[in-house]
Structure 1
């Protein structure tokens, strides 16, 4: 199932997108019509925190709609609603894995830059924006805004000291993130946080795909285009540190909680890796496609 957070004149809802990705079923509306113990919160993190009950209740809601032939009555065209980021305002910073593809580490430096241990930084929650929303260029602050297409993991249950072999049990699902980065601010401040945390520099979505639909997160095609030109084209099998190891490392001494988001790193082909560099400009459109999830699309806008 593809879970979205949507907004319309009635408020904010959680919905499920159909297989054709054309319509969304608002789960709260279904819940109101059902005579059962199904409970679907309007907030995605609250829903994820319910654990397996949320997923099973969502399944029940979808089946009830089918059984009562109400798909056409209750489903809404995606074009009729505002699609928010699946988790519009994360409770914590987004965890980000740096240099998790060897070729990306090399393009940013040399073979000596390939990490031996998981490298982690974070992005502020205020960076998050949605599919089809504008990414601000922040031209008064940076001339080197860059794209980074990434698979993101959404944690589904609380855990600390998680064993690698049990790590995927703690996942709720997967989404896509563009870890937009101001390279000059990175260099200026000698760290990642400011250059990674400008407003709108974490497009996320379009939805969260439940883990039951992804057999192996470490074997997914990932591609980034800018204005239709392929810039990044790889597969998550090229991770240096697979999803299980990243979760295990992050949870050592630190509690992971439902709704926590982990961006797993970007492949080679970022703008800075070209000679000369090819940074983002106003009106550029960036599309990131991850196998089994979909496509996250955003356009740059001057500010």
Structure 2
């Protein structure tokens, strides 16, 4: 299945993608849907076929969970371009839900930053509660996968050794357009991931280049915190980020940045300047 969260009627609704249309489900969003023990059945058989066309729908972030865990330095190509050695353990940081943005929303470039960068990523959505899980249990608990652009304010990120402030500007992390269940994308072990800016390819890789895979990351995180249905894990970005270029290149108003993930679709966001 492919699931989405759509803005409609002054609120949001979870929806199932059928062909080119959305079937509206009873849940207000995908996170609420995943909270049900019978979510697969409810998502597959429920709803009414009076939803909008997928291409015309006003899509919200496919999930907006309480917990967003991100992995840095997880593609071999990106680690090498930064001049670092391969890490022994996942490099983790967190985002707040307010950082998330719809897959077609405008990306407002913060006036406080002059170095706004792109990061194409595979997102993993948790489908059941996980605590101190093994890798096999973690893999079985994956609800599905989505595309993420972990937009980063590099000047703020590098103010200190901690990345937190450069990763948590509000409404700067597009997520979507859909959640694809594992059977749709073969556990995401070898999906093509691409980022373009105004149509120019700036990142291109396969999820096969991940140092730590999705189930391994979930198992590791569940050792120290409980993961709940709907929680999102962004698994890191490949080489090609703007900050690593010579000279560095960053996003500007008027540009369109697109992150596409094989079998899932694209988040496409127009960059606009923040109003003074």
Partner of 2:74 in structure 1?
A: 100
Question: Cα deviations across residues 246-270 of structure 1 (Å, max 9, x unaligned)?
Answer: 1111111311111110000000000
SS of the residue aligned with 2:74?
A: coil
Please tell me whether residue 188 in structure 1 is matched to residue 159 in structure 2. yes
TM-score, normalization: structure 1? 0.86
1:132 aligns with 2:107: no
Which residue of the partner structure matches residue 30 of structure 2?
A: 44
Q: Which runs of 4+ in 1 moved over 4 A?
A: none
What residue number does 2:54 align with?
78
From 204, 208, 213, the counterpart of 1:233: 204
In terms of fraction of residues, the more helix-rich structure is 1
Deviation at 1:80, TM superposition (A): 5.1
CA apart distance, 1:123: 1.4
- The residue aligned with 1:58 is 43
Matched residue pairs, number? 274
Paired position in structure 1 for 2:66: 91
How far 1:96 moved relative to its partner? 0.5
Instruction: Write the distance in 2 (CA, Å) between the matches of 1:216 and 1:208.
Output: 12
Contact 1:233 1:267 (8 Å CA) reproduced: yes
**CA apart distance, 1:81:** 3.8
1:4–1:83: 8 Å Cα contact kept in structure 2?
yes
Q: Answer whether contact 2:130 2:138 (CA < 8 A) is retained.
A: no
Q: Is 1:173 equivalent to 2:144 in the alignment?
A: yes
Report which stretch shifted further, 234-243 or 215-224. 215-224
**Structure 1: tracts of 5 or more residues without a match:** 29-40, 66-70
Distance 1:86 1:302 in 2: 25
Alignment RMSD: 1.6
